[in-house]
């Protein structure tokens, strides 16, 4: 595994490299959700265990709206139903991790733009607690930053993955730093975090979605890389790379699936037909992994793939 052999790879290059290899995608499934009326559930997390019960967090939203909530679901008879008594958050795109024994849940908060009339702004917010019902807000990220992620490193330090846009990050590039403790995560620290070298061309963008600590201490990053085509349609691809938290060196991104390998389904808008938004990865003892993903901003799907992090641990 070469860390920082990096050359910038466009979506086109990554797609060509992916299609040159045999696909490992099997067992495509469309997750079924109940108890939310006619709303869509998409951009889900991978399943996680809290209070002895396996739950999935999902973005719940009407097809014609961007106003969404995060709900928690439990599996019942092959369908996912809202967990009785669980909290509901007025957020988009949930994610989770565990830090120092506590559940850390995050999502994207949308709110009125502070200076532009009839416009919206967004930021990433974090809650923590021992249980779903004890989750309390502990950090609010910078304005206009999605895909902010935290992870407890093998050293006990906290890894911080950022995704600035604008002057520093263009359409969205990934940064990394680390701190001693959660209390050290500040807006200033996030804004000053250096970007990873040689990941995205300026016309494209991406972000980290879920972080895995590998057995050699590297961070396995499940993320997405995205671009527009000539017609203005969006293309989102699930990707992975590995990062050394001690040096910031990282491998090149590589794709792990494409939309056509999931089941056919609905789309929120025609320009989102080719969107796969990485939700989470469950690594399994047999060398495979289940990839959970939001599809076309309308559905939640799962496929089984060869565990993409095994090569980074070799």
Contacts of 175 (CB under 8 A, 6+ apart): 161, 162, 163, 164, 169, 193, 194, 195, 196
Q: 10 Å Cβ neighbour count for 164?
A: 21
61 SS3 class: strand
**Average pLDDT over every residue of 170-190:** 96
What is the percent of the chain with per-residue pLDDT over 90, rounded to a whole number?
92
Mean pLDDT of the chain: 96
**What does the DSSP 8-state code read for residue 217?**
S
Q: Please, are residues 29 and 264 in contact by the beta-carbon 8 Å criterion?
A: no
Write out the H or E segment, with its range, that includes residue 310: helix 310-313
pLDDT at 181: 95
Nearest-angstrom CA–CA distance, 6 and 252:
6
Q: What is the pLDDT of residue 118?
A: 86
Res 184 pLDDT > 80: yes
Helix (H, G, I), strand (E, B) or coil at 224: strand
Summarised one tens digit per residue, pLDDT across range 74-127 is 999 999 999 999 999 999 999 999 999 999 999 999 998 888 888 889 999 999
What is the C-alpha separation between 10 and 5, in angstroms, rounded?
Answer: 16
How many CB atoms neighbour CB 135 within 10 A?
20
3-class DSSP assignment, residue 214: coil
CA distance linking residue 284 with residue 287, whole number of Å: 6
Determine the Cα–Cα distance for residues 273 and 285; give it in Å rounded to an integer.
Answer: 33
Q: Is the pLDDT of residue 5 over 60?
A: no
Compute the distance between CA of residue 63 and CA of residue 121 in angstroms, rounded to an integer.
20
């Amino acid at each position: 595994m070469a860390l920082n052999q990096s050359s910038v790879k466009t979506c086109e290059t990554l797609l060509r490299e992916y299609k040159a290899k045999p696909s490992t995608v099997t067992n495509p499934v469309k997750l079924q959700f109940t108890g939310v009326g006619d709303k869509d559930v998409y951009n889900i997390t991978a399943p996680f265990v809290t209070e002895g019960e396996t739950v999935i967090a999902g973005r719940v939203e009407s097809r014609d709206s961007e106003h969404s909530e995060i709900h928690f679901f439990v599996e019942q008879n092959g369908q996912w139903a809202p967990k009785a008594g669980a909290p509901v958050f007025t957020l988009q795109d949930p994610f989770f991790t565990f830090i120092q024994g506590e559940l850390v849940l995050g999502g994207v908060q949308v709110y009125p733009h502070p200076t532009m009339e009839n416009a919206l702004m967004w930021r990433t917010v974090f809650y923590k607690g021992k249980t779903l019902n004890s989750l309390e807000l502990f950090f609010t990220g910078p304005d206009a930053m999605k895909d902010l992620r935290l992870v407890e490193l093998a050293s006990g330090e906290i890894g911080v993955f950022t995704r600035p846009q604008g002057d520093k990050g263009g359409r969205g590039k990934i940064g990394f730093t680390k701190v001693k403790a959660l209390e050290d995560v500040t807006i200033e620290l996030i804004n000053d975090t250096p970007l990873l070298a040689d990941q995205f061309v300026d016309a494209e963008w991406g972000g980290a979605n879920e972080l895995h600590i590998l057995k050699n201490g590297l961070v396995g990053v499940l993320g997405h890389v995205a671009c527009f085509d000539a017609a203005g349609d969006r293309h989102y691809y699930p990707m992975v790379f590995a990062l050394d938290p001690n040096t910031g060196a990282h491998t090149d991104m590589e794709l792990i699936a494409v939309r056509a390998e999931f089941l056919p389904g609905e789309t929120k808008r025609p320009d989102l037909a080719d969107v796969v938004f990485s939700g989470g990865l469950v690594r399994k003892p047999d060398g495979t992994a289940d990839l959970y993903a939001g599809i076309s901003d309308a559905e939640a799907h799962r496929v089984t793939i060869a565990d993409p992090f095994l090569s980074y641990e070799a």
